[in-house]
């Protein structure tokens, strides 16, 4: 395994570990992990399989719940957003993708809560109530996404700068 691929996989493992450590609600590396994988793994199969494996393994520890399908759907779409970043790994596109993934996660998972929890009437008012109830968590989602995006993208960019073996070479397999 080349050093670049090993380092990228290591970052995903660390992200999964951050998920299982105690943290404030929704301050987690989920979106950052998905964006990072999409942006750095040129093999699209690896870009999905590796972060999804990390997500599933950490969910085995955390526990599964009724909105997992929605969490995983938002995660998959965020990996695809990361593909867009492959040729745009600069601060503003990364920031835009991080903000977009936070909004996406909020919309998809709160829709899932509305649809599956039975706490809200299945009408427009119930959907708005679910979104309203989720607003306090959105702030934490945004904080977590931005924090981990800076750590993963910024940290790897610095590592690439100072460790030549981590730099992309032509058609890298990572």
Convert the pLDDT of each residue in 35-64 to its tens digit: 999 999 989 999 999 889 988 888 888 888
Convert the pLDDT of each residue in 88-102 to its tens digit: 999 999 999 999 999
Retrieve residue 173's tokens: 């397999």
- Picking from 45, 51, 39, 76, the residue whose alpha carbon sits closest to that of residue 168 is 39
Q: What is the pTM of this model?
A: 0.88
Domains of the chain: residue spans and CATH: 3-164 (1.10.1760)
pLDDT at 171: 38
Q: pLDDT at residue 73 above 70?
A: yes
Neighbours of 50 (CB within 10 A): 21
Q: Give percent of the chain above pLDDT 90.
A: 67
């Amino acid at each position: 395994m080349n050093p670049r691929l090993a380092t990228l996989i290591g970052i995903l493992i660390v992200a999964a570990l951050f998920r299982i450590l105690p943290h404030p609600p929704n301050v987690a590396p989920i979106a950052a992990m998905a964006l990072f994988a999409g942006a750095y793994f040129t093999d699209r199969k690896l870009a999905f399989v590796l972060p999804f494996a990390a997500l599933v393994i950490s969910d085995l520890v955390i526990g599964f719940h009724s909105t997992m399908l929605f969490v995983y759907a938002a995660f998959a779409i965020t990996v695809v957003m990361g593909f867009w970043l492959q040729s745009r790994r600069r601060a503003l596109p990364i920031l835009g993708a991080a903000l977009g993934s936070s909004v996406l996660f909020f919309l998809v998972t709160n829709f899932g809560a509305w649809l599956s929890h039975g706490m809200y009437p299945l009408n427009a008012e119930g959907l708005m109530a679910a979104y309203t109830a989720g607003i306090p968590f959105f702030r934490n989602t945004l904080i977590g996404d931005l924090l981990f995006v800076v750590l993963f993208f910024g940290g790897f960019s610095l590592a690439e700068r100072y460790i030549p073996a981590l730099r992309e070479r032509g058609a890298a397999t990572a």
